[in-house]
């Protein structure tokens, strides 16, 4: 099952209770639009730093060894990516920076299934009509999840040979 939140935020609360469920085609159309909007967003939507502290303790709970790492977290194709920027308070060496570049490239290849050199493909987004055409969707119900209106959608692969 798939839960879609935020698609209903523009509908007043009183209307939701009597409103019929949207067609699956309308929901998938909006999923594609949102995916494109995220992909086309220029620059970073938000970024933050994450601090990780790993401590090895002895049996009495005293620290034997600690390692602090600082990461810069950014969205890539709508997914958070952690780039290591400091270890024990020092900047990364050129070799470590190169390793982080490789890690980011692999992350992009895994989560952004488009040709990164093609600007039009980059702006298409992760959710494409070709991807959604492989499935049958059915809107089941509307629920409130974390104080947000949410659609519950059941989906399964379409019958027959798929690309």
pLDDT for 151 beyond 80: yes
pLDDT for 15 beyond 50: no
DSSP single-letter state for residue 126: S
pLDDT tens digits, residue range 60-115?
Answer: 999 999 999 999 998 876 678 999 999 999 999 999 999 999 999 998 887 665 55
Measured distance CA(33)–CA(47) in Å, rounded: 23
By C-alpha distance, which of 9, 11, 2, 1 is closest to 147?
Answer: 9
By C-alpha distance, which of 73, 77, 67, 102 is closest to 85?
Answer: 73
pLDDT for 37 beyond 90: no
Instruction: Please report the pLDDT score of residue 118 as a whole number.
Output: 57
Higher local confidence (pLDDT), 1 or 47 = 47
Instruction: Please report the pLDDT score of residue 88 as a whole number.
Output: 95
Helix, strand, or coil here: 155?
Answer: strand
> Largest Cα–Cα distance of the chain, in whole Å?
62
Q: Which residue has the tokens 């958070």?
A: 80
Higher local confidence (pLDDT), 120 or 26 = 26
Instruction: Please report the pLDDT score of residue 135 as a whole number.
Output: 93
Instruction: Please report the pLDDT score of residue 35 as a whole number.
Output: 80
Instruction: Please report the pLDDT score of residue 117 as a whole number.
Output: 55
- Asked whether the whole model's pTM tops 0.85, one would answer no
Mean pLDDT of 103-129: 70
Q: CB–CB of 107/76 below 8 Å?
A: yes
Rg (CA), the chain: 22
């Amino acid at each position: 099952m798939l839960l879609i939140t935020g698609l209903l935020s523009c509908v007043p609360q009183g209307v939701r209770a009597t409103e019929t469920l949207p067609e699956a085609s309308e929901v998938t159309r909006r999923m594609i639009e949102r995916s494109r909007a995220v992909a086309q967003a220029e620059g970073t939507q938000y970024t933050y730093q994450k601090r990780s502290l790993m401590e090895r303790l002895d049996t009495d709970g005293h620290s034997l060894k600690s390692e602090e790492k600082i990461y810069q977290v950014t969205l890539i194709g709508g997914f958070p990516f952690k780039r290591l920027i400091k270890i024990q308070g020092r900047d990364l060496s050129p070799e470590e920076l190169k390793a982080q570049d490789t890690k980011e490239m692999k992350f992009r290849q895994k989560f952004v299934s488009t040709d990164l050199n093609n600007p039009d493909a980059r702006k298409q987004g992760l959710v494409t009509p070709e991807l959604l055409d492989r499935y049958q969707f059915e809107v089941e119900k509307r629920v409130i999840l974390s104080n947000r209106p949410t659609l519950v959608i059941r989906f399964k692969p379409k019958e027959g040979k798929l690309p």
